[in-house]
Structure formats: C-alpha cells, structure tokens
Amino acid sequence: METLMPDTMRTGGCLCGAVRYEITAEPDYAGLCYCADCQKVSGSAFVGVVGVPASGFKVTGEASRYVCKALGGGDAVRNSCPTCHSLLFGGIVGQDTSHTVYVGGLDDGSWFAPSFAIFASRRPAWAPEPPPGVAVFAEMPPGR
C-alpha cells in the first residue's frame, strides 16, 4: 500500500460538524456491507467502509459510542455524533489498532473503490447490486 502524501489527506465528519476526522494512511481495505446491523444503523440498504490503521486516523470532537454484539461474537463499537447522530466510524479511539470508517461521512468520497461486498444475501431487491469487479460474499467470507 502506498503512503499518502500530506496533500492527499482525507477528511470527513458528521452532519453538524461537531465531530471531524482525518485519514492520513492508505486504507487497509474498502468494502460494502449489507448486514442487518449496518442496515439498521445507517437507515439504508448497505454501508461503504474503509479500514484505517489507528496511527493514520485522527478525530476531533467528542463522539458517542454504542456497543452491541457483532455477528462474529465480539463487540461491535460504533461512534456517532451526540448532536446530529451521524454514524461515523467503528472502534475505540486510543485503544483499537484500526478503525472502520463509514465513507458517507467523507467530505470527498470519490476515491472510495470497494473491493468486496459482504452479507450480500441480505441485499434488498430495491438496492443496487455491487459494482462489477467487486468480490461478492453471501455472508461473511471464510477466515475473517
């Protein structure tokens, strides 16, 4: 993975602007998730996410955390804005080594290029199919 130059720093945040973040590292992965939890939490059919190493992710403002059981059995930690309730990223800042960033919060998400789609069997009929070239998994791919 290439290292990002400072002028390609990627920024995002919530709807009201109280919570902002910067991504200064190349994401480890980029994908789409159609799971039931992501549908609930986003109010939509799927989410786009990138995995960012904690060393390349900086948050300003105070996000509120919601923890529930992940489908894999562990804890799923989601951070949102306490004021406007935008869903922002996953994981505990200062504790986890990587974060899942929900790409809808990016100021410019045009660089987002998903390589996989998971829980695709949950995709509602009205939602678009993953774009060509994306590896589609009906559930969580084996080995994850």
Of 2-10, 14-22, 103-111, 132-140: span binding Zn ion (CB under 5 A): 14-22
Question: Is position 42 an interface residue for Zn ion (rule: CB under 5 A)?
Answer: no
Q: Find the shortest distance in angstroms from Cβ 42 to Zn ion.
A: 9
Ramachandran region, residue 61 (left: φ > 0; alpha: ψ -120 to 50; beta: rest): left
From CA 131, how far away is CA 117, in angstroms rounded? Answer: 9
| Chosen residue from 9, 67, 68, 84 binding Zn ion by CB under 5 A | 84
| Chosen residue from 23, 30, 32, 35 binding Zn ion by CB under 5 A | 35
CA distances from 61 to 17, 85, 90, 93, 139 (A): 9, 13, 15, 12, 35
Q: Find the shortest distance in angstroms from Cβ 37 to Zn ion.
A: 5
